[in-house]
């Protein structure tokens, strides 16, 4: 007979049960779908087995969530001046799924019983489609991320330097390009961040207002652009802009911009592309802009607001 949809995607043998053995083993029995008008007799015969499988799948997902939270708490270093914290709203944001996407189509053809039980096929489908946002940043180990964070904390610019470069960015590139969506809100948050940083530096205490890594990525990208437009000697502008954009990209990695993109990380990536373009690296800027467009689409930013 015809294999179920997950088995067809993996190109593995299916036993044609409802749910099949493969879907039960992989803890997603509710995704085992053959065609919309499957006979009700088959569904009733497998109702008990499906219920047991759903319980196992639920317990597995809860255990996975607990382990993810514990890993997340250990992977965010706090140093004087760089207080980063993984904001839940930034980390576990829903991935945008288009109206013609496979999870939405399967959701529409699920049985009324499954809909009454509030089975979220779209959420369970993420692991199959590679949209599970609980995975860590895939291109660097947490040990190296920690080490880089310690190096960054020793090279942070002074408050005076930050304000000088921020004013340069706000007065020159921002009115023409508008990479930071709400510059006034960003400026107010910057004032709070600098005050909190100065207070913690004098008392050697941890920050009482943790800052998301993606927001820090915007900050250092703004400093990089400000360095390029500041009235300093060319070699100083080039040196500072390269240093700040490297720090910005590190905070993008800390925020796991590939698997957990956010509106802040999109803004930081646009600023990074602009820095590369000004630095005569047009090909790198073009490639990064393409990636940024894909990440923006994954958040549904291409939709017009209703």
Print pLDDT tens along the chain (306 aa): 688 888 887 788 888 888 888 888 887 787 788 764 334 334 443 444 445 444 444 443 444 444 444 333 333 333 434 444 444 334 444 555 555 555 555 666 655 555 555 455 555 555 555 555 566 666 666 777 667 766 676 667 889 999 999 999 999 999 999 999 999 999 999 999 888 888 776 665 555 567 888 999 999 999 999 999 999 999 999 999 999 999 999 999 988 898 889 999 999 999 999 999 999 999 999 999 999 999 998 888 887 765
So what's the pLDDT on residue 106?
61
Cβ partners under 8 Å of residue 28, min gap 6: 6, 57, 124, 125, 127, 128
CA–CA separation, 74 and 89 (whole Å): 18
So what's the pLDDT on residue 39?
40
- The answer to whether 178 touches 225, Cβ cutoff 8 Å, is no
Q: SS3 helix, strand, coil % of the chain, rounded to 5?
A: 65, 0, 35
The overall pTM is greater than 0.75: no
**Straight-line distance from the first to the last Cα atom of the chain, in angstroms, rounded to the nearest whole number:** 45
Contacts 24+ apart (CB under 8 A), 83-87: 83/196, 83/197, 83/200, 83/206, 83/207, 83/209, 83/210, 83/211, 84/149, 84/210, 84/211, 84/212, 84/213, 84/216, 84/251, 84/254, 85/210, 85/211, 85/212, 86/212, 86/213, 86/255, 87/210, 87/212
So what's the pLDDT on residue 304?
74
Q: Is the dihedral of CA 204, 205, 206, 210 positive or negative?
A: negative
CA–CA separation, 3 and 272 (whole Å): 46
So what's the pLDDT on residue 75?
32
Q: Phi/psi of residue 84, each to 5°?
A: -110, 145
So what's the pLDDT on residue 43?
43
Q: How many residues does the chain have?
A: 306
So what's the pLDDT on residue 293?
95
Q: Which of these, 302, 270, 301, lies nearest to 286 by C-alpha position?
A: 270
CA–CA separation, 255 and 216 (whole Å): 10
So what's the pLDDT on residue 34?
79
CA–CA separation, 102 and 104 (whole Å): 5
Q: Which residues pair with residue 211 across a beta bridge?
A: 84
**Tokens describing residue 3:** 């294999």
So what's the pLDDT on residue 184?
95
CA–CA separation, 236 and 82 (whole Å): 24
What is the number of other CB atoms lying within 10 angstroms of the CB of residue 69? Answer: 14
Q: Which of these, 93, 120, 82, 91, lies nearest to 104 by C-alpha position?
A: 120
* H or E element, residue 217: helix 213-229
* H or E element, residue 74: helix 47-74
- The answer to whether 245 touches 221, Cβ cutoff 8 Å, is yes
C-alpha dihedral (26, 27, 31, 35), degrees to nearest 10: 60
What are the Cα distances from residue 249, in Å, to 118, 134, 266, 271, 303? Answer: 40, 20, 12, 10, 27
């Amino acid at each position: 007979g015809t294999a179920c949809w997950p088995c067809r995607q993996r190109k593995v043998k299916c036993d044609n049960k409802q749910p099949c053995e493969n879907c039960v083993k992989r803890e997603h029995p509710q995704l085992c779908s053959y065609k919309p008008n499957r006979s009700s007799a088959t569904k009733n015969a497998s109702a008990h087995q499906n219920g047991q499988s759903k319980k196992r799948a639920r317990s597995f997902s809860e255990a996975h969530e607990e382990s993810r939270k514990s890993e997340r708490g250990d992977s965010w270093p706090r140093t004087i001046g760089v207080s980063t914290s993984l904001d839940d709203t930034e980390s576990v944001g829903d991935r945008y799924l288009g109206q013609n996407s496979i999870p939405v189509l399967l959701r529409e053809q699920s049985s009324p019983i499954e809909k009454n039980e509030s089975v979220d096929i779209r959420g369970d489908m993420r692991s199959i489609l590679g949209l599970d946002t609980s995975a860590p940043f895939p291109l660097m180990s947490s040990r190296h991320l920690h080490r880089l964070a310690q190096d960054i904390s020793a090279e942070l610019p002074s408050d005076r330097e930050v304000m000088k470069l921020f004013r340069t960015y706000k007065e020159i590139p921002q009115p023409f390009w508008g990479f930071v969506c709400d510059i006034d809100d960003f400026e107010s948050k910057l004032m709070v961040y600098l005050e909190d940083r100065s207070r913690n530096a004098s008392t050697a205490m941890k920050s009482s207002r943790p800052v998301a890594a993606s927001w820090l990525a915007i900050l250092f990208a703004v400093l990089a652009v400000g360095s390029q437009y500041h009235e300093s000697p060319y070699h100083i502008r080039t040196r500072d802009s390269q240093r700040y954009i490297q720090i910005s990209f590190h905070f993008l990695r800390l925020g796991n911009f590939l698997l957990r993109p956010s509106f802040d990380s999109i803004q930081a990536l646009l600023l990074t592309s602009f820095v590369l373009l000004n630095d005569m690296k047009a090909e790198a800027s073009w490639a990064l802009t393409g990636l940024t467009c894909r990440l923006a689409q994954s958040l549904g930013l291409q939709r017009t607001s209703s």
